[in-house]
Amino acid sequence: MSRRIVSSLSACLAVGALSVSGCGEGGSADGTDTANATGISATNSEDGTGDGNTDTNSNSGGPTSNTDTGDGDGDPGDGDTDTNEGDGDADSGEDGPKFDIHSIPDGEIDCQCGTTLDFSYIWIANSTQSTVTKLNTETMEEEGRYLTRADGAGSPSRTSVALSGRAVAVANRNGGVVKVFSQHEDCDPNKNGVPGLQTSNDLNYLPWGEDDCIDWFVPFDYTTQRPVAWAPGILNQGTCLYTDEQLWTAGCKPGQDAVVKVSLIDGDTGEIEFTVDVPGFECSSLSPYGGAVNAEGDFWFTNLVPGNDRLGFVDRETAETQVWNMPITPYGMTVDHDGNPWVASWSASQQASAAKFDVDTETWSYANNHVVHSLSGIQEDADGRMWMNYWQYDGQNLGTGGLVYIDMETMEVSEPFDLGCQSSTCRGMSVDLNGMIWSTSMASNTAFRFNPDTLEIDTYSQLVGPYTYSDMTGWGIQSATCGPQG
């Protein structure tokens, strides 16, 4: 399998950087790879059938005692009315983001927008198991699995990787956000009270409170909490590492709260810096739904309420809010490198595959040469393509569902690429740091890795009801903050 070479700017930003070679101004980073993980597949002994039935988690929390018989949770496209259903997820140049880059003292390194790539993970929520999987995007090996809530009933669905790549945050639909470190060197070997590092290294997870790589958990008194998105921190020019990273989330209690509440969390401590009500953005079981940030770290978010479609915005500096009506019902949202939100169309009766909101003119443009019925998820790659899952293309079910892309300049939709996932089950969508396109099927418990250059498909099939409609790899925040390069 070929690996895409990342340019000096994006490689110097790339998630999880540990070294600073090639990070000086005008430097480059060679992304040559020797990994050849092809055709990897495995079976899962747990039941995650995605049949819409009520999940009856019976995990004991032990490393080898997973007895989950829960299914991939229901979805609005399936006619399921469960209020806890499975759910869909600044111009920048070589100087990097202007809001957090300061003058470079003599003798310090000009890191531009980050440091060199040393590892790449995709973090996939196992919704019916209340865990998150840490999957190496190159070797296709699971390097850790972690509970997302103490009671094992969080129903996680959104994961967000920090711009530094050193942590992931996971939102539980049933309330609460957890942060997990990606690197063992960042974990506290005494956190659980036992000397030495105890942490998961494969698909077996430790009981709550015993994994030293779980940094913090922030409880929220919500019954619906989906969006989660890291905001970029401050780049330390002496170390080429990010500090003061912050995290957005949103939620509410339908029937009690009239509008959605949005919170900004200190990424280091887990303390809530502020919470703001968003007038005009109604609270319901599927509102709020998706969230993403722009280069300034402002928060954009959407709902999934056909006929009452909303796009919301919260300014990170002022906490001021804005709300717009959307012309299509979204089942996927992202923010591109120009700071413009994109939404993938959930309903094929709306004659567009996706729509882009121009933040300067507050107008919408449409991708409508083909009408794709989306299965949650949309994300930009380094080559000017906006990728989406699909399950219906021009009114027809083609194959078993797969991927399409939108040319971001022409707004034209590509021909479909069949992944071979079970029909109407591919829900997660992400692009990794090597340019591979990822999708997850909650019915087959499978992650698909698609090479857009060779059309090769690799799979990992030991997930449990995976959903994950969000920035699973950290490429989304990288692209939005520093621009796609490749």
Residue 233, in any domain of the structure:
yes
Three-state SS for 482?
helix
**Which pLDDT score, from 0 to 100, does residue 39 have?**
31
Structural domains counted in the chain? 1
Q: Cα separations (Å) of 387 from 22, 104, 336, 421?
A: 30, 37, 12, 16
What was the pLDDT predicted at 348?
65
Residue 2 lies in a domain: no
Q: Is the pLDDT of residue 99 over 50?
A: no
108 confidence band (pLDDT: 50, 70, 90) = low
Q: What pLDDT, in 10s, does the model give residues 136-148? A: 999 999 999 999 9
pLDDT for 190: 96
Which residue's entry shows tokens 């809010």?
A: 321
Mean pLDDT score of the chain: 80
| pTM, rounded to two decimals | 0.79
pLDDT the model gives residue 17: 33
Residues with Cβ within 8 Å of 186's Cβ and at least 6 positions away in sequence, in order, are: 166, 167, 213
Whole-number Å distance between alpha carbons of 234 and 241:
8
Edge-to-edge strand list for the sheet holding 246-252:
224-231, 246-252, 259-266, 272-282
Residue 81: pLDDT over 60: no
Please tell me the distance from the alpha carbon of residue 2 to that of residue 435, in angstroms, as a whole number.
10
Q: What is the pLDDT of residue 424?
A: 67
Model confidence pLDDT, tens digit, residues 433-456: 899 999 999 888 999 999 999 999
With a pLDDT cut of 90, the percent of the chain lying above it is 62
Average pLDDT over residues 348-366: 92
Res. 184: pLDDT tops 60: yes
In-domain check, residue 450: yes
pLDDT band at residue 347, thresholds of 50, 70 and 90? confident
Rounded CA separation 163/165 (Å): 5
Greater pLDDT, 284 or 35: 284
Using DSSP's 3-state secondary structure scheme, residue 78 falls into helix
pLDDT at 361 over 70: yes
User: Tens of pLDDT along 28-57?
Assistant: 333 333 333 333 333 333 333 333 333 333
pLDDT tens-digit map of 368-405: 999 988 878 899 999 999 999 988 888 887 667 899 99
* CATH code for position 100: 2.130.10.10
For strand 457-460 and strand 121-126, is the pairing parallel, antiparallel, or unpaired? unpaired
469: tokens are 């409609």
Choose among 226, 457, 455, 440: nearest CA to 333. 226
Core vs surface per residue 213-227: b (16+ CB within 10 A) or e: bbbbbbebebbbbbb
Question: Sorting pLDDT into bands at 50, 70 and 90, what band is 192?
Answer: very high
**Residue 1 within a domain:** no
pLDDT above 80 for 19:
no
306 or 115, which is more confident:
306
Query: Which pLDDT score is estimated for 34?
Result: 34
Q: Which residues pair with 259 in a beta bridge?
A: 282
Range with the lowest mean pLDDT among 2-11, 152-161, 402-411, 473-482?
Answer: 2-11
Q: Are the CB atoms for 408 and 483 separated by under 8 Å?
A: no
Q: What is the pLDDT of residues 227-278, one digit of tens each?
A: 999 999 998 888 888 899 999 999 999 999 999 999 999 999 999 999 999 9
Domain with 29, as residue range(s), is 8-33+42-482
452 found inside a domain: yes
DSSP 388-457: EEESEETTB--TT-EEEEEETTT--B---EE--PPTT-EEEEEE-TTS-EEEEETTTTEEEEE-TTT--E
11: number of Cβ within 10 Å = 26
Residues 87 and 226 sit within 8 Å (Cβ to Cβ): yes
Q: Give pLDDT, residue 204.
A: 98
231 falls within a domain: yes
Average pLDDT over residues 469-480: 91
Could you give the CA distance from residue 228 to residue 171 in angstroms, rounded to a whole number?
Answer: 6
Asked, for residue 17, whether it belongs to a domain, the answer is: yes
Per-residue pLDDT band for 118 (boundaries 50, 70, 90) equals confident
Tell me, yes or no, whether 51 lies in a domain.
Answer: yes
